Amino acid sequence: MKATQLLHEFGQSIWLDNITRDLLDSGTLRRYITELSVTGLTSNPTIFDHALKKSAAYDPAIRAGLKQGRVGETLFFDLALADITRAADEFHATFERTDGVDGWVSLEVSPQLAYDAASTIAAAKELHARARRSNLFIKIPGTQAGLPAIEEAIFAGIPVNVTLLFSREQYLAAAEAYLRGIERRIAAGLNPAVGSVASVFISRWDVAVADKVPAELANRLGIAIAGRTYRAAQQLPVSPRWQRAYNCGARPQRLLWASTGTKDPNADALLYVKSLAAPFTVNTMPEATLQALAQHNELGAGMLPDGGDCETLLARFTEAGIDVEALAARLQDEGAKAFVKSWQELLGVIAAKSATLGAAA
């Protein structure tokens, strides 16, 4: 049995961290669903930037958009929504079969709105309405500025993938924003079953400290942070507030492991996949990681509900001079800036392609 199926049967959802028009047109995504147990998909500005740079598959749609006066960000969202809605349709059967637990796709609002809650909410509502797909998450960063937008989006009934979380504390803040939105729906007499995942980024921790810690601690910080966060997630459902919400029909916000491709060429390509296996969570994998997993037929023990030795490990990182709390804040800030940079590069690609294709028309 392929390790992808083993992971699925273990109780963790495998989502693909990629989308391209070629992936859809070639039937590759459908094959991943049927053969590799893929049950969802995520996207971000960097993914779309790479897709547009490396493929001519979007050229006909760009030409058609230009004839309609569509340019820049408007044109991009036309292209992105076309891909995302096709992917959503591929996962619709999974969404129906699991009653909305799985089968989701994700699309991000403009990262340039990260510090503008009102504009983020407006953009989230517009994108969700345009997509007209019940299995679409709108990605909103779990920054301090993003938390009010997350609450408001959930209250408005818009499913949210909270992105750019790096620590237990950031995760708990996002979970609190989600719960406030749900509680407001309950108080207003609205259906509280609004889906959400909280995406915690893993590998960037290890990249950040690669040259700052002893060799025996290499590639262990991200997993330790994941263990600490997973333990906190396991404790949330037993709190009275969450139980009251569940009693009214609310759903748990699932924990999602993001950035799970191994960055160290000397480390196991499946380091994070094997270490982060845990029931009722999601691992969103780069395509290369998914393909590597499919070549194996074993997983290992996975995560312990209590986080295992995560606190002992984190104490060793502290002894090595790593301020975990400060690094979490830095990683989140750098992540937000990186997405803005990718967004600007993406719009530059759109502008360049528009100029070239428009001139050739």
Catalytic residues: 139
CA distance 288 to 295: 11
CA distances from 299 to 17, 285, 355 (A): 20, 15, 49
Residue-by-residue DSSP string for 279-326: TTEEEEE-HHHHHHHHT-S-------TT-TTHHHHHHHHHHTT--HHH
Strands 160-165 and 136-141: parallel
CA atoms within 13 A on the CB side of 268: 10
Which residue type occupies 47?
I
CA distance 119 to 128: 14
Report yes or no: 219 and 267 within 8 Å, Cβ to Cβ. Answer: yes
Report yes or no: 107 and 80 within 8 Å, Cβ to Cβ. Answer: yes
